Amino acid sequence: MSSLIKIEGLSKSFGEKKEQVKVLKDINLEIKEGEILVVVGESGCGKTTLGKLIADVHKPTEGEIYYKGSDINKLKRAGYKDFRMAVQMVHQDSFAALNPNKNIFESLSAPILKHKIAKSNQEALELCSEYLEEVGLTPVDQFLYKYPHQLSGGQRQRILLARALLVKPKLIVADEPVSMVDVSLRISLLDLMASVNKKYGVSFVYITHDLATARYIANNGRVMVMYLGSVVELNNINDAITNPRHPYFKALLKAVPVANPRNKNMIANLPLKTMDIPSLKNLPNGCKFNPRCIYANELCEIEEPTLRKIGDGFVACHHAETIEDDK
């Protein structure tokens, strides 16, 4: 697979100069054509910010993002248009992502008419109908002229996916796309995204805190684990889940609820010193995870670990080998 997106030394800060908060630090990543990359971590770790940087909704404070080998901030008008069409986002809040004053046909047809993908309203109608069928909203006449408030959360998410597909993207950044959808409908939406990945070769960056949906959609993909703005583990998802190398990811996996009424002390048994997460405004010295880590020692308090290759994956931990042996 050839490289679609390449990220080098990416950092992002928010706030005024004197009170800037760095929410992402030195991210390096390559996304291949047709792959599914899952980004996981607790709320506030920088997952959504990374997704918005990839889609160029936010501009990086430091570093570069390359699309097919070209720096997106140096693209000329035609090249930048190609990039913006190729990288689409599906947002968590489907109601906020759709104009409440426009019906579904108006929302879907606007981008394809603007970019001349459809040259007339009739052609736009045919394309919109085709992609509504593609995402399982049939008969299409029941959906084309409805307004967002007349649809369920799952139906609106399918509309967002159809809108993204209409401009023939190469990559879709899906930010918590099923978190606001009924549990009974989540599998069907995940199956739909997996089908789009296989049928059209569309790459996905799937952002979530739900490891169950992460493993389901990216069975043959990769997982990137983030903690307080940094990447702490990157590996094939099955290898990472079977053999977690970073203590934070190990704790995340232990925290996944199991239907066992006898396991009443699950939280108490998590491999963590504390549940408290440090503030981005006052990060600890050395490894950011050291105040919570059961493996932390003096080295962890002094030196921040860099992402290094171990086996087929990458881990930012001084004690990765120890953790591997401690199963």
Q: Which helix or strand (DSSP H or E) is residue 48 part of?
A: helix 47-54
Q: Give the least confident one: 17-21, 83-87, 100-104, 114-118.
A: 17-21
pLDDT digits (tens, 9 = 90+) for 49-80: 999 999 999 999 999 999 999 999 999 999 99
pLDDT value of position 274: 84
The CATH class for the domain spanning 3-94+170-241 reads: alpha beta
Helices (H) and strands (E) in the chain, counts: 11, 12
User: How far apart, in whole angstroms, are the C-alpha atoms of residue 196 and residue 203?
Assistant: 9
What is the average pLDDT value for the chain, to the nearest integer? 90
User: How far apart, in whole angstroms, are the C-alpha atoms of residue 314 and residue 106?
Assistant: 45
pLDDT value of position 265: 46
255, pLDDT greater than 90: no
**Cβ(288)–Cβ(211) under 8 Å?**
no
271, pLDDT greater than 80: no
* Residue ranges matching CATH 3.40.50.300 in the chain: 3-94+170-241
Q: Give every strand in the sheet of 62-67, ordered side by side.
A: 21-32, 3-14, 62-67, 70-71
pLDDT digits (tens, 9 = 90+) for 165-197: 999 999 999 998 888 777 777 888 899 999 999
